[in-house]
Amino acid sequence: MSEAIEIADVESERDGGVMTIRFNRPDVLNAFNASMHAALADALKEARDAAVRAVVLTGAGRAFCVGQDLRELREGTGDIAGRLRRHYHPNVVALRTLEKPVLAAVNGAAAGAGLSFAFACDVRIASDRASFVPAFIKIGLVPDSGCSFFASRLLGYARAFEWLATGRTLTAAEAHAWGLVSEVVEHERFAARTAELAASLAELPTRGAAMTKRLLERAAISALAEQLDWEAQLQSAATRTEDFAEGVAAFLEKRDPAFRGR
């Protein structure tokens, strides 16, 4: 490793119920290498702490994340499937199964597997300097780390195919028009807006939000009858949360609820 010592490849910080996880290899536009994956895995493990009620995933410097560090491959692509299975897949799954809202704050370029990680989050906002680059095809590769899975869900087949097979760069405005991000924010206001949105996510009834995430995950593979039953089971679980009691009490007392994520 030629990286400067004592600089973490992924930085994480807490602010109240919000945990921000920041890709931190800005000199290579936050490209993934094995040690950044390991650091991300640690951060995602920490994010399971019940005191964390919303997670922000973002990048340091100009880029969000530009996917695999090709310099790491130059020494030999080696077992790329093994690399995906060992490093990428556990982190993608960890994001999808994290039981709290995860916000991708796409501060700059998201390319290749960087897209996959933005897509694996629950909410995405973009700086007006962000761009969305399905870089795989440009070097003759195919989408990986969930990119094809998420893109086809988010975009439908026609747009997903055209986009992923041509490698066309989308601007933040185009990504917004396609529904890939829910909001585009001027770069100067981006950090403030990210913090504001994250804070509001952290005030949600966290378990209800997590169960909503699970329901939507399941909706993609369920028949209606199965989904109805699954909703009934989770609704029954939701009524046993403290936040449900608080929500009902606040409604009856005509005040704002103060959810605690329990």
Partner 1 sequence: MRADAVADVRPAAMSDDALVLVERDEPIAVVTLNRPKQLNALSEPLMDELVARLAELDRDDAVRCIVLAGSERAFAAGADIGELAQASAIEMLYARRVERWDTIRRLWTPLVGAVSGYCLGGGNELAMSCDLVIASETARFGQPETSLGIIPGAGGTQRLTRAIGKAKTMDVVLTGRFLDAFEAERAGLVARVVAREAWLEEAKRVAREIASRAPVAQRLAKEAIDRAFDSTLELGLEHERRLLYLAFASEDAREGLTAFAEKREPEFEGR
Q: Is 89 a catalytic residue?
A: yes
Instruction: Write down the number of H helices and E strands in the chain.
Output: 12, 10
Give the residue with the Cβ less far from partner 1, 35 or 222: 222
- Phi, psi torsion values for 126, nearest 5 degrees: -130, 140
Give the residue with the Cβ less far from partner 1, 10 or 92: 92
Q: Least CB distance from residue 223 to partner 1, whole Å?
A: 13
Expressed in angstroms, the distance from the first to the final Cα of the chain is 43
Q: Least CB distance from residue 121 to partner 1, whole Å?
A: 22
Give the residue with the Cβ less far from partner 1, 34 or 94: 94
Task: Please give the DSSP secondary-structure letter assigned to residue 32.
Answer: B
Give the residue with the Cβ less far from partner 1, 166 or 239: 239
Q: Which residue has the tokens 């909503």?
A: 212
Q: Least CB distance from residue 220 to partner 1, whole Å?
A: 12
Q: Least CB distance from residue 237 to partner 1, whole Å?
A: 4
Find the catalytic residue in 87, 144, 176, 243: 144
In the complex, which residues of this chain contact partner 1 (CB under 8 A)?
A: 214, 221, 230, 233-234, 236-237, 240
Is the distance from CB of 33 to CB of 72 less than 8 angstroms?
A: yes
Q: Is 243 a catalytic residue?
A: no
Closest CA to 106 of 40, 174, 9, 191: 191
**Distance between CA atoms of residues 159 and 154, nearest Å:** 9
Find the catalytic residue in 69, 89, 128, 187: 89
Q: Which residues participate in catalysis according to the annotation?
A: 89, 144
